[in-house]
Amino acid sequence: MAATATAYGRLRDYRQLVGQFLTGPGLPLLFLGLGLWALIGRTDAFVIGVVTGSVLALGAIGLTLIYGILKFAHFAHGDAMMLAAYIAFFALTGVMVGERTDTKVLPWTLSDLPGATKPILNFSFGYGLLIAMAVAAAIMVVVFIVLDRLIYRPLRRRGSGIVIFAIASLGVAIAMRSLILIFWSSFGRFYVPGIRPTTDLPFGIRILSDQVFIFWAALVLSALTYVILFRTRLGKAMRAMADNPELALVSGINTDRIIIWTWVIGGGLVGIAGVMLALQAQLKPELGFVLLLPLFASTILGGIGSPQGAFVGAMVVGITEEVAVTLGFISPGYKFSVAFVILILMLLLRPRGLFGAKT
């Protein structure tokens, strides 16, 4: 009798240990191990996963800032990315769907700049696309600030719960996607039609040159966001507000200004992320909503409010997706469900995220 009791007690100890390991250092170590194994075992899938993760990272960093500072799940983030991609497309080509087919409605577009479509280095696009990207980012900043003034600020003043913000942002998401459909219809589009140049990496891996650009752009912009958040006064104020809005307000931080800056950074990143997404895949209206789940998975994986966490989370989601499909664990149709499984796993084991503080 006593022996069974001890055996049971020992079993319970083991279970407790396993539980502590999983909710403690286990999950980060598991993801690190998976990443290393993918890097050595299937380098090609790993590289594509890093590119997918780069696009996700740009979106997830903006999402995590909005989530952390404004305290609500911004469900319009994916569709805002797609809207930005279409705005860049419009700035570049001036094409919209007219009565039935595509018509050029702008008399002058960025493509008319001298040499704007001549490819830079061995990428598929010229400097016109980079300007279009800047235009899209600027317009998204304005759109986000206007939406905040019209919708989110009145709701904030009323003291609405996070759920009301989420429903409002879902309404905004639907409206944004419908706008894309109204102006550009549902066809898939590309910035630059035709075959795209490739680049050879070491170990015999060949990827699109544009994907190299996406990776570096994501890295630079993530680093920039990190610097803004951890090396400037603005960043300090933003972090203070994420920690405790009331305390930030009474310590003399202009919280209204911080909110605007959060939308500025979020909108800028959304603009660039959308163009990157369209460059990596294509322009398609429903892509934005499909991206929502990987974006939230990355954000929660990294811990809400942590940009470096969102970056790592996006890489984990991107790499796991690509490796799981390449190794044949799942059929490509289930690719997105990887993000879903990661999300549920995180919610069960470590809802504060990999880098979130223990509460």
Partner 1 sequence: MKLPAVLAGGALKGQIKGERLITPLTVLAITAAVVLMPAERSNWDVGGVISFLTFFATFVAIYGIFTLGLNVQWGYTGVFNFGVMAFFLVGANAAAIITKPPANTEYVRYVGGFGDKLAFIPVLDSDQWLPFLFGIAGAAFFAGLLAFLLSIPTLRLREDYLAIATIGVAEFLRRVTIEEPGLVNGTRGLTGIPRPLGELVSTGDYKFVMLAIAVATLALVYVAIERGIRSPWGRVLRALREDELTTAASGKNVFAFKSQGFVVGAMIMGIGGAIYAYANGAVSPDTFTHFFGTFIFWAMLMVGGSGNNKGAILGAYVVWGFWTITLQLQGYDLPTVVASRIPFIRDFVVGSLIVVVLLLRPKGLIPEERRVSMWVERHAKRFRDLPPTPAEEVESPVTDQGPGRDRSADA
99 contributes a contact to partner 1 by CB under 8 A: yes
For partner 1, the binding residues in 130-149 under the rule CB under 8 A are none
Among 7, 36, 146, 163, binds partner 1 (CB under 8 A): 163
Among 110, 168, 258, 317, binds partner 1 (CB under 8 A): 168
Per-residue interface string for the shown chain with partner 1, residues 261-290, x marking contact by CB under 8 A:
----------------------------xx
105 contributes a contact to partner 1 by CB under 8 A: no
Is residue 235 within 8 Å of residue 228, measured between CB atoms? yes
What minimum distance in Å lies between the beta carbon of 2 and partner 1?
35
201 contributes a contact to partner 1 by CB under 8 A: no
Exposure class string for 137-169: b at 16+ Cβ within 10 A, else e? bebbbebbbebbeeebeebbeeeeeeeebeebb
What minimum distance in Å lies between the beta carbon of 344 and partner 1?
6
Rg (CA), the chain: 22
188 contributes a contact to partner 1 by CB under 8 A: no
Among 17, 18, 113, 348, binds partner 1 (CB under 8 A): 348
Is residue 92 within 8 Å of residue 111, measured between CB atoms? yes
What gap in Å lies between CA 169 and CA 69, rounded to an integer? 16
73 contributes a contact to partner 1 by CB under 8 A: yes
Among 179, 192, 205, 228, binds partner 1 (CB under 8 A): 179
200 contributes a contact to partner 1 by CB under 8 A: no
Residue 31 or 296 with smaller CB distance to partner 1: 296
Most distant CA atoms of the chain, gap in Å: 89
Among 339, 350, 353, 355, binds partner 1 (CB under 8 A): 339
What minimum distance in Å lies between the beta carbon of 41 and partner 1?
25
344 contributes a contact to partner 1 by CB under 8 A: yes
Residue 162 or 247 with smaller CB distance to partner 1: 162
Q: Which two tokens stand for residue 126?
A: 């010229």
Residue 64 or 209 with smaller CB distance to partner 1: 64
Among 296, 310, 312, 318, binds partner 1 (CB under 8 A): 296
Residue 59 or 126 with smaller CB distance to partner 1: 59
Residue 41 or 154 with smaller CB distance to partner 1: 154
What gap in Å lies between CA 41 and CA 203, rounded to an integer? 12
What minimum distance in Å lies between the beta carbon of 74 and partner 1?
10
What minimum distance in Å lies between the beta carbon of 347 and partner 1?
5
Q: Which residues bind partner 1 (CB under 8 A)?
A: 72-73, 75, 98-100, 151, 154-155, 158-164, 166-168, 170-175, 177-179, 181-182, 289-290, 292-293, 296, 300, 331, 333-334, 336-337, 339-340, 343-344, 347-348, 351
